[in-house]
Amino acid sequence: MPTPPSALRLTLIAGAGITLLAGCGASSDAKNEPSTSHGSSHKIAVTASTNVYGDIAHQIGGDQVEVTSVINDPSQDPHSYEANTQNQLTLSKAKVVIENGGGYDDFIDRMLGSGNNSSAQLINAVKVSGRTAPGSELNEHVWYDFPSVAKIADRIAAALGKADPAHAATFTKNAATFKGKLAGLEAKEADIKKKHDGEAIGITEPVPLYLTGASGLVNKTPKEFSEAVEEGHDVSPKVLQETLALYSGKQVKALVYNAQTSGPQSEKVVNAAKNAHIPVVPVTETLPKGKDYLGWMTSNVDALASALDK
């Protein structure tokens, strides 16, 4: 099946507002249940659109937060997720809400815009990142951009501090610790750039481009291909052949592809890379099971370095 559009096409079930009042305890399919860090009622309720931001909030808030990540299953395609009344109930109780923005998770704005907890502090990661400069083309996957994530960490700490002034200093300290570890990841990118600056790579979607760009790598995939795959559109035969030629002709050193969503075109590219003995580096849009954000990104950067060193 072609991959659904990059912006999360999330549709609230009919009568969500009525159902919320009449039966808000109803559960959804198990794989769509949000993950919650349970705790006492004095904790700050935080709702994040994905477990990426949920984990970052937990790293900064520690024991003082109760975090719910709407999209948290590593086998779940974020693009096909459908929000439900449980999500709406969780959002109605949140003191801090973290969304990616940039069209990626518009369901958060729709629920808040319907009057559901308009008092919550809303953090829009894309806006905080500053990657929305006029005239520039937006790549909404800002969680792969470590300087942007550092800004987001500071914004989360500030929001938590406003919600719980007694622990504001702790949140600021935790954010500083988190950013120190991000600096280590940036150093790893700099090491890759030192060894491989200007080398060519291929992608299936724009998901990893902040990481590969900071590592000095040049994406050679035709824009028409990656955009079509991301939006779930068919790729023209001409563009597909141009893309496959990158691998049969050994014009790239590695393929970095989104393993969380797939379709016939992206699978052809993966197979072409493997047949040409070109290293393949899988990445995902949400946290793999058993990983926190820093561990996940460390694995991604290390895998990229290893592929290029081969």
Which pLDDT belongs to residue 37? 45
* 11 found inside a domain: no
Q: Given 138, 165, 184, which residue is the final one in a domain?
A: 184
291 located within any domain? yes
User: Is 103 a member of any domain?
Assistant: yes
193 and 138 in a common domain: no
Token pair for residue 17?
A: 């507002």
Q: Check residue 310 and give its pLDDT.
A: 87
Q: What is the pLDDT of residue 111?
A: 82
86 and 56 belong to one structural domain: yes
This prediction has a pTM of 0.85
Q: Is residue 98 within 8 Å of 47, Cβ to Cβ?
A: yes
pLDDT of residue 78: 66
CATH assignment of the domain containing 168: 3.40.50.1980
Do 45 and 169 belong together in one domain? yes
Q: Are residues 21 and 126 in the same domain?
A: yes
- Same domain for 259 and 236: yes
Instruction: Give the residue among 7, 28, 251, 241 at the shortest CA–CA distance from 105.
Output: 7
Could you tell me if 170 and 250 lie in one domain?
no
| Same domain, residue pair 168 and 226 | no
Judgement on whether residues 55 and 200 belong to the same structural domain of the protein: no
47 and 164: one domain?
yes
Boundary residue ending a domain (162, 184, 206)? 184
pLDDT at 134: 74
The answer on 204 and 180 residing in a single domain is no
Q: What is the pLDDT of residue 211?
A: 98
Residue 5 lies in a domain: no
Query: Is there a domain that residue 172 lies in?
Result: yes
Q: Which of 167, 184, 201 is the last residue of a domain?
A: 184
Nearest to 101 by CA among 36, 17, 6, 11: 6
Same domain, 153 and 220: no
Q: What is the pLDDT along the chain (310 residues), one digit of tens a residue?
A: 444 444 333 333 333 343 333 333 333 333 344 444 444 468 999 999 999 999 999 999 999 999 999 998 777 666 666 778 888 889 999 999 999 999 899 888 888 877 666 789 999 999 999 998 777 789 999 999 999 999 999 999 999 999 999 999 999 999 999 999 999 999 999 999 999 999 999 999 999 999 999 999 999 999 999 999 988 899 999 999 999 999 999 999 999 999 988 789 999 999 999 999 999 999 999 999 899 999 999 999 999 999 999 8
What is the domain extent for residue 221? 187-309
- Quick one: pLDDT at residue 83? 77
For residue 220, how many other CB atoms are within 10 A of its CB? 16
Structural domain count, the chain: 2
Same domain, 180 and 191: no
Is 3 a member of any domain?
Answer: no
pLDDT number for residue 303: 98
Q: Would you say residue 6 lies in a domain?
A: no
